[in-house]
Structures are given as C-alpha cells and as structure tokens.
Amino acid sequence: MKNILFLSTYPLGTAPGQRFRYEQYFHILTEHGYNHSHQPFIDFCTWNILYKKGHIINKVLGICRGFIRRLRLLKQLKQYDCVFIFREATLVGPPIFEFLIAKIFRKPIIYDFDDAIWLPNFSEANRWIHWIKMYSKVNYIMQWSSVISAGNEYLAEYARKQNPKAKIIVNPTTIDTEHYHNKIKDQHTEKLVIGWTGTHTTLRYLREIVFILQELEQSYDFEFLVISNQKPNFSLRSLVYIQWNKDTEIEDLLRMNVGIMPLVRDAWSEGKCGFKALQYMALGIPAIVSPIGVNTKIVDNGVNGFLCDSPQEWKDALVALLKEPQLRVRMGIAARRKVVEHYSVLSNTPNFLSLFEFLTTYTQ
C-alpha cells in the first residue's frame, strides 16, 4: 500500500482547479490501493476572506499559520512514498518546502499545474501579495519533480524545457459526468439565458463581448447570467448575477441555454485548460469560445459549439443559438458526448493513474 501526500494552496472542496484536477479522483486512488492525505496551505477561515477587500491583518495571520502547518508537516514526511503538489506548496515566497521535500527528505514529487503560472497574473483583490508571489519558483519545482502533470500540451511543452528528464503527462482537467455533471439542459425554455461562470480573476475577459450583448439586447429577449464570487460592473440590462455556491453549482449552470468563454490572445490564455467550456458541454449546453489554446481541441466548430475570433462571429453564433432551439439541442447532445468520451473522469482514469505507476518500482 503506497501513501501519497497531496499538497495544495486551498482547503478541500473550494478551488475549482483542485476539485476537478485531483480531488474527484480520491476514491479511485483508494480503489486502486493508494492511501492519500491532503494538506492545504491556508485554512477555511483564511479562504473565506482571502479575496475580499480589507482583512489584511487576518490574511497575514492566516498565511503565517500556513507556514507553521508546513513546518509541522516536515516531521510527517517519512510516512509518505511521494508528494503530489498542485501548483505550489505555499501561497507566497520561494519554493523552500519543495526543495526540502525533494532534496533533503528525498521524496519524489508529482507536480500538477493547469495554467501558465510562471507568468505574473493577478487581480486587484490579490494585488497585495503579488510582490511576494515569486512566480519563478514554478521552474524550480519542475526541475525537482519526478513526474509532471500538465493540463494541456502547451503547458507540457514548457515543462519539458524545464526538466527533460521528468516523466511529462498531459492530464486534462476533467468532469465527473456520472456523479456530478450528470444532468442535461432542457433547451425548450421560455426564457433564454446566455451564461458565464468563473472567478473574479477571469471576469475581465467578459469585457471583450459586453458591447455585443448590448447590441443583442436591442433585438432579443434574454438574460445574461454571471455566476462568480464577485458581481461584475457591466452596463447590461440583461445582466443577472448569482453568487457561486458549490451546493447549487449544477442547478445554477443548468439555467443556461448557451455558455460562453471569451479570452484574449496572450501567453496566459494559451495555458488555460478550457474548464468553463467543459462544464457547459457536460450538461448539454453548447459553448461559444475563443479559438485559443486547448479550446480548439475541446470545441468542434459548428458541431458541439462555436469557435469565434471576431465580434461578428460572436454575434452570429449567439443569434443562431438564441433563435434555433433544435440547434441548441443538437449541439448540446454532441457537446455532452465529447466530454464523456474525452474529458470525463471515467475516460481519463487510466491516464491519471499513470502518474503514480512509478511507485510500484520506486525504492528510496
């Protein structure tokens, strides 16, 4: 029986990256004979205020508690056969604990990441820790890792440059289509809803299409639903905001007839793993996305959604789906099938388990 320690920044069941990249595989690891423990850097109290304005003293105290937990954790490392690190072991600062794990305690590291996190990327809410974030530590962690799990090929190629000797596996963000995203949108609804979901850090991408929605408001009756942890400040009479809630996440998403994922063309967007599109599509909701990065692999243009690269293309796609319920139904069915076959927990389980295959032969 192999023992795996999972290290992450946030508590269980909170951050989407953790939930959909490894937490939903915990029961599968158990079924295949792996013991696992999870140790977040910050606690729930800190998580609840981390991205809110103010609370600076409590945020600093929460981060200090995180470092104390990491120091205590060092005493427990001997009981684990490997350490799985999602993004970073600590929210801020240099990769001290990753170095200690790999070089002093000599524990093999499986490193998992799902964004171009070596690039500075921050919002106003977390600008206060930007200067101590140390984005370059990603490169060091990769160099010290035995296995690297990258969310897409763009990220995997970057990892290969940092550590040619590591085992690099493209491990896409996946959806549990059996137990969680297991409902299908009824497209014959009286009110048509164009929707978007995401955190405050990605709200800025919506600015790219606000003027398109403003034009459509002149001719069509629809809601523009935003599900997030922060209310957007857009001049749209169609705007409806819902505070993101894990307990109602699926029902809230099912209010959408169409899901959108606009991006800007830059290095950060190239590294994104298409999670929004996957969530929509798994529920039978056609996705309209920017043709950037892995989006072009997830969405088959005109089949299960649309790839739109210009304002006119966005407008045409939205109009088509607003006007034609049968098109929404047909695309929704194809979208669900694409996720089940290529981006579901079920289809990706062998790939995910391959991250841990080296433990069967590894000896310290």
Q: Which residues touch 39 (CB under 8 Å, ≥6 apart)? A: 5, 6, 7, 8, 69, 73
* 180 belongs to a structural domain: no
Task: Please say whether the dihedral angle defined by the alpha carbons of residues 123, 265, 259 and 224, taken in this order, is positive or negative.
Answer: positive
Q: Is 236 exposed, middle or buried (0-12, 13-18, 19+ CB in 10 A)?
A: middle
The residue type found at 187 is Q
pLDDT interval class at 51 (50, 70, 90): confident
- Supply the pLDDT for residue 131: 60
- Supply the pLDDT for residue 129: 59
- Average pLDDT on 94-113 reads 97
- Supply the pLDDT for residue 124: 54
For the record, the structure tokens of 220 come out as 């069509």
For the record, the structure tokens of 334 come out as 């194809």
Ramachandran angles phi, psi of 150, nearest 5°:
-110, 140
pLDDT tens by residue, 318-329 = 999 999 999 999
pLDDT tens by residue, 192-240 = 999 999 988 889 999 989 999 999 999 999 999 999 988 999 999 999 9
For the record, the structure tokens of 357 come out as 């295959």
Strands 2-8 and 34-40, sheet pairing: parallel
Query: How many CB atoms are closer than 10 A to CB 143?
Result: 16
Q: Which residues touch 248 (CB under 8 Å, ≥6 apart)? A: none
- Supply the pLDDT for residue 52: 82
pLDDT tens by residue, 117-169 = 998 865 555 555 556 678 899 999 999 999 999 999 999 999 999 999 999 99
Domain range for residue 117? 2-174+345-360
- Average pLDDT on 172-183 reads 96
pLDDT tens by residue, 259-275 = 999 999 998 899 999 99
Same-domain status, 208 and 98: no
- Supply the pLDDT for residue 236: 95
The residue type found at 321 is L
- Supply the pLDDT for residue 174: 97
Task: Please say whether the dihedral angle defined by the alpha carbons of residues 289, 290, 293 and 296, taken in this order, is positive or negative.
Answer: positive
Same-domain status, 349 and 319: no
* 184 belongs to a structural domain: no
* 207 belongs to a structural domain: yes
Q: What is the mean pLDDT of the chain?
A: 94
Contact by Cβ (8 Å): 275, 262: no
- Average pLDDT on 284-295 reads 97
- Supply the pLDDT for residue 342: 97
- Supply the pLDDT for residue 362: 58
Same-domain status, 235 and 131: no
Highest mean pLDDT among 52-61, 126-135, 177-186: 177-186
* 186 belongs to a structural domain: no
Closest by CA to 16, choosing from 122, 118, 151, 210, is 151
CA–CA distance, 85 with 5 (Å, rounded to integer) = 8
* 223 belongs to a structural domain: yes
Same-domain status, 196 and 86: no
Same-domain status, 161 and 203: no
Closest by CA to 78, choosing from 111, 36, 107, is 107
> Domains in the chain: how many in total?
2
Same-domain status, 156 and 236: no
CA angle 249, 170, 253 (to 5 degrees): 15
Closest by CA to 206, choosing from 136, 281, 288, is 288
- Average pLDDT on 29-58 reads 93
Same-domain status, 111 and 57: yes
- Supply the pLDDT for residue 157: 97
Same-domain status, 157 and 51: yes
Sequential DSSP letters for 120-174: ----GGGGGGGGG--TTHHHHHHHT-SEEEESSHHHHHHHHHH-TTSEEEE----
- Does the pLDDT of residue 84 top 90, yes or no? yes
The domain that holds 298 is classified in CATH as 3.40.50.2000
* 183 belongs to a structural domain: no
- Supply the pLDDT for residue 318: 98
Strand runs labelled E in the chain: 2-8, 34-40, 82-86, 109-113, 147-150, 167-170, 192-197, 222-228, 239-243, 258-261, 287-289, 305-307
Same-domain status, 303 and 356: no
* 185 belongs to a structural domain: no
Same-domain status, 44 and 149: yes
Same-domain status, 41 and 60: yes
Closest by CA to 341, choosing from 291, 281, 294, is 281
- Supply the pLDDT for residue 200: 83
* 181 belongs to a structural domain: no
When computed from its CA atoms, the radius of gyration of the chain, rounded to whole angstroms, is: 21
Contact by Cβ (8 Å): 266, 293: no
Same-domain status, 207 and 323: yes
Q: Is the pTM of this model over 0.85?
A: yes
- Supply the pLDDT for residue 85: 98
Give helix then strand counts, H and E, for the chain: 15, 12
- Average pLDDT on 292-317 reads 97
Strand runs labelled E in 236-304: 239-243, 258-261, 287-289
The least confident of 27-31, 228-232, 247-251, 338-342 is: 228-232
- Supply the pLDDT for residue 50: 87
For the record, the structure tokens of 74 come out as 């060092």
